[in-house]
Amino acid sequence: MTLKFRSFCKHYLTLTIGLTLMGMAVALSKLAGLGTSPISSIPNVVSLITPLTIGQMTMVFMLVLISAEILFLRRQFSPWAWLQLIPSVIFGVLIDYFTSWLSWIPMNNYAAKLIATFVSIFLLAWGVYFEVNSRTILMAGEGLSSAVAIALHIAFPRAKVWCDATMVIVAVIIALIWLHGLVGVREGTILSALITGRLVSLFTDKMPNFTHWLHTK
């Protein structure tokens, strides 16, 4: 086995682990019912008012995000960016799989739902950590934030906050109009927005050797 092939396997295995953890996290937060992460908030709400599952809606939403990248980047948009659809489809499939697989977990009271929400945030942070450090294909959410940063000449973290906030606001508007309340966008969404990034930074800071190993070819 050549060094190049082993490097390829390592990086895409890292991406697969990240997508799996993220899919599990979104599914668990969906089942808890206290709101998903910002990027899953729109698919979650729309899945409640259409025949589409949250996983299927996630695939459609990722296509919308890539289209938004084109609007921001115009001639700077690379056709290679369409490869973002590959992990997006896998992510959507995993969400639906884990939503079904984890449906046995009892969510009979608010305490159980809150615990499940915190577990989902922890899993999501690990998933993002592996996905980002895989150094392979960007997910459409990060791709859009990157496009916004480039188009508006701002730092990526700032663009990421703007994109996440916009997604939550849109999800709230959809929920209020069609579901007549904050259904699908609740305290779990806010907790995810506040905690996930900090946990990813913590994992990165506390495991520099492992992070470096993930990066190296």
147-176, pLDDT tens digit by residue?
A: 999 999 998 888 988 999 999 999 999 999
Give residue 175's identity as a one-letter amino acid code.
A
* Residue range 86-99, pLDDT digits in tens: 999 999 999 999 99
156 close to 162: Cβ distance less than 8 angstroms: no
Complete DSSP assignment for 22-86: HHHHHHHHHHHTS---HHHHHHHHHHTTSSS-HHHHHHHHHHHHHHHHHHHHGGG--GGGGGGHH
pTM of the model: 0.92
